[in-house]
Amino acid sequence: MKIVRKLLNIKESKTDFFKQIKAVLGFSPLYIDVYKTAFIHSSTNKKDALGNPLNYERLEFLGDALLSSAIALYLYNKYPYSDEGYLTQMRSKIVNRKTLNEIGLKLDLISLVNTSMSKSKMGTNIHGNILEALIGAIYLDLGNKYCQKFIANQIVKPLIEQGNWEGRIDSYKSVMIEWSQKNRKNLIFETYEDSGNDKTKHFSVKLNIEGKTVTKGRATSKKKAEEMAAKRAYFAIIKKLK
């Protein structure tokens, strides 16, 4: 079996997919088939030999858990005197959808996705989802050592090199809510009727503080509209106080 796998790897090493995966990883994969699975989108409706769905979703589940654990270990060692609250906050700045999407996009992982639908219609989360699936594939192929190496080189180090990643704000809504509670201010996000003429449905939100509308936000989802209103409020109120 080992001889057969070695021969298959020699053959696979000449393919474009193998070369692209190696370039992303920074080291050579061993069992290339698990990486192929990491890039299969559910729209293909592929099945394995037993008739089970064959796509990246199970690997994404595994990669999500591995990433969270790896980041927790990194932060635990880097900040030996920080409490649980601080470590949790720092982990959330790294292991969040926005950050993972940005990293997945930068690595151009979507170019390797095997899909039956237009990639332009997949949404931004596909980048982070595939990144997590790739992490799961690395673990199954080469184990924890190489999994940790990839996470350090492609996720942690780039964030640190950006500078001020510890002070990065990923949720202005959370910041505003925390500020309102600390200062005993009544803060409410109010969704109101959107009268726009866009073909795509939009949501409009008012951010009210002490009964007064401070800012507004409008986006294709309620969550995004709230975040937009909160960001505007942050720069209008909190940022000015610093």
Domains (range + CATH), the chain: 2-167 (1.10.1520.10), 172-241 (3.30.160.20)
Task: Label residue 161 exposed, middle or buried (CB < 10 Å: 0-12, 13-18, 19+).
Answer: exposed
The active-site residue out of 16, 33, 60, 64 is: 64
The active-site residue out of 132, 141, 226, 227 is: 132
Highest mean pLDDT, choosing among 2-16, 196-210, 219-233: 219-233
pTM for this model (two decimals): 0.71
For the question of residue 226 being annotated catalytic, the response is no
| pLDDT greater than 90 at residue 81 | no
| pLDDT greater than 50 at residue 7 | no
For the question of residue 132 being annotated catalytic, the response is yes
Q: Which residues contact 74 (CB under 8 A, 6 or more apart)?
A: 151, 152, 156
Task: Label residue 4 exposed, middle or buried (CB < 10 Å: 0-12, 13-18, 19+).
Answer: exposed
Q: What local confidence, expressed as pLDDT, does residue 198 receive?
A: 64
Confidence of residue 3 (pLDDT cuts 50, 70, 90): very low
pLDDT, tens digit (0-9, with 9 covering 90-100), for 118-172: 888 888 899 999 999 999 999 999 999 999 999 988 988 887 766 556 667 777 8
Q: Give the C-alpha separation, 107 to 175, whole Å.
A: 30
